[in-house]
């Protein structure tokens, strides 16, 4: 059975809204050298909003209608934001046919007989569409921390949307607390380099890995582990393999069931500062035990 101080520490953590699944998690977390954080829904609220709609034709409503028609079938947080923006503008997107999602990149569908693609600038460029005319504008938006998604109809660029997702109020403070405790903090995201760099700079993370595809997150954790014990904090379906690979997996309580099942520690109240708090409690519990 677990030493009393560990049990007491776990109880203290639970009172703060941190569920320690196992005694190993509690002891293992104390000696973690670095913590990898997912961005969307973990360091940020996970409720992006559409901030800008720029149509090549000048008809922003038509662009938003078309984008929402494709995104209606997607469950991605960005897709939900686009559908919400269309709804708020009183628009009625038409039905989509043959919807297809490419994880970490974007979505395609047929709308009123046209092939429509909505996704990251990189995905759009890879699909053979030339985006040099908007390169500058995209970079500027991304440097501000926006995530840009591009809309293409029958191979032609027709506009872009800029979305933003606010960092959680206690995210910066959490990163500072961990750094002061000697823990290295790493951002791991599917989002683009510029947006990721801006978020990392604003919050003070030590290292950034951007444009990490959903299937690559666990491999990245394995690489980080060659430097020392590594925890991973996430919320998405995509994060589950990385949470299992990490020495300690931590899930946000607002996260998907799959992420929660994969985790050793669950932050029930979604307060990211509890990632630092739990580490302090586990160190404290250990000291009491000695
Ligand atoms: P994250 O790690 O932030 O959860 P994802 O791996 O899910 O990111 O997605 C990475 C990028 O792929 C997004 O920033 C976006 O540019 C693009 N993307 C993914 N799904 C969609 C979608 N449904 N609509 C538009 N873009 C998408
Ligand atoms: Mg996420």
pTM: 0.90
Distance 78 CA to ligand 1 centre (A): 7
CA 36 – ligand 2 centroid, Å: 12
Residues 83 and 117 in one domain: yes
Same domain membership, residue 40 and residue 184: yes
For 47, 103, 218, the CA distances from 238, given in Å and listed in that order, are 17, 9, 9
Residue 80: count of CB within 10 angstroms of its CB? 15
Tell me the pLDDT band of 82, cut-offs 50, 70 and 90.
very high
145 alpha-carbon distance from chain centroid: 13
Structural domains counted in the chain: 2
Tens of pLDDT, residues 87-133 = 999 999 999 999 999 988 999 999 999 999 999 999 999 999 999 99
Which residue's C-alpha comes closest to atom 20 of ligand 1? Answer: 106
CB proximity list for 23: less than 8 A, separation 6 or greater: 2, 6, 10
Among the three residues 149, 164, 179, which one is the final residue of a domain in this structure?
A: 164
Whether residues 9 and 83 fall in one domain:
no
Which of 144, 164, 184 is the last residue before a domain boundary?
164
Total residue length of the chain: 290
Question: Do 130 and 182 fall within a single domain?
Answer: no
Judge if 180 and 269 occupy the same domain: yes
Ligand 1: centre distance to CA 148 (Å):
10
In this structure, the number of other CB atoms found within 10 A of the CB of residue 288 comes to 13
Kindly state whether residues 160 and 175 are assigned to the same domain: no
Same domain membership, residue 172 and residue 160: no
Domain of 68: which CATH number? 3.40.1110.10
**107 and 239 both lie in a single domain:** no
- Are residues 177 and 138 part of one domain? no
pLDDT in tens, 190-215: 999 999 999 999 999 999 999 999 88
153 and 207 in a single domain? The answer is no
Q: Which two tokens stand for residue 147?
A: 């995530």
Counting ligand 1 atoms within 8 A of each CB, the residue from 75, 80, 104 with the most, and so the one to mutate, is 104
To the query of whether residue 38 is one of the catalytic residues in this protein, the response is: yes
CA–CA distance, 106 with 101 (Å, rounded to integer)? 6
- Please work out whether the CB of residue 190 comes within 6 Å of at least one atom of ligand 1: yes
Instruction: State if residue 209 touches ligand 1 by the CB under 6 angstroms criterion.
Output: no
Domain hosting 19: range is: 4-45+167-289
**Residues with C-beta atoms within 5 A of ion ligand 2:** 38, 40-41, 235-236
Q: Could you give the ipTM of this predicted complex?
A: 0.95
How many Å lie between the centroid of ligand 2 and the Cα of residue 272?
13
Q: Which of 101-105, 177-181, 286-290 has the lowest mean pLDDT?
A: 286-290
Does the pLDDT of residue 181 top 60, yes or no?
A: yes
Task: Mark which of 141, 164, 187 sits at the end of a domain.
Answer: 164
Note whether 66 and 154 are same-domain residues.
yes
User: Same domain for 153 and 201?
Assistant: no
pLDDT tens-digit series, residues 138-169:
999 999 999 999 999 999 999 999 999 999 99
CATH number at residue 27: 3.40.50.1000
């Amino acid at each position: 059975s677990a030493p009393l101080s560990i049990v007491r520490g776990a109880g203290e953590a639970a009172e703060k809204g941190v569920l320690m699944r196992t005694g190993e998690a509690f002891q293992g977390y104390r000696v973690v050298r670095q913590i990898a954080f997912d961005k969307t829904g973990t360091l940020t609220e996970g409720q992006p909003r559409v901030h800008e709609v720029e149509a090549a034709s000048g008809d922003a409503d038509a662009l938003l209608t078309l984008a929402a028609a494709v995104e209606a079938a997607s469950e991605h947080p960005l897709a939900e934001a686009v559908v919400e923006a269309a709804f708020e503008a009183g628009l009625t997107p038409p039905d989509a046919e043959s919807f297809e999602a490419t994880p970490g990149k974007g979505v395609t569908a047929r709308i009123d007989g046209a092939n429509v693609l909505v996704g990251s600038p990189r995905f759009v460029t890879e699909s053979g569409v030339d985006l040099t005319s908007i390169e500058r504008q995209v970079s500027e938006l991304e440097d501000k921390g926006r995530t840009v998604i591009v809309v293409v109809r029958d191979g032609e660029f027709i506009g872009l949307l800029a979305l933003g997702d606010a960092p959680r109020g206690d995210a910066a403070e959490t990163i500072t607390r961990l750094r002061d405790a000697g823990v290295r903090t790493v951002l791991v995201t599917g989002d683009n380099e510029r947006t990721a760099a801006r978020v990392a700079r604003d919050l003070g993370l030590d290292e950034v890995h951007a444009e990490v595809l959903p299937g690559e997150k666990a491999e990245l954790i394995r690489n980080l582990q060659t430097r020392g014990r590594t925890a991973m904090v996430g919320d998405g379906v995509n994060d589950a393999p990385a949470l299992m690979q990490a020495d300690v997996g931590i899930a946000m309580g607002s996260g998907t069931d799959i992420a929660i099942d994969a985790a050793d520690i669950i932050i029930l109240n979604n307060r990211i500062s509890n990632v630092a708090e739990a580490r302090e409690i586990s160190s404290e519990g250990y000291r009491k035990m000695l």
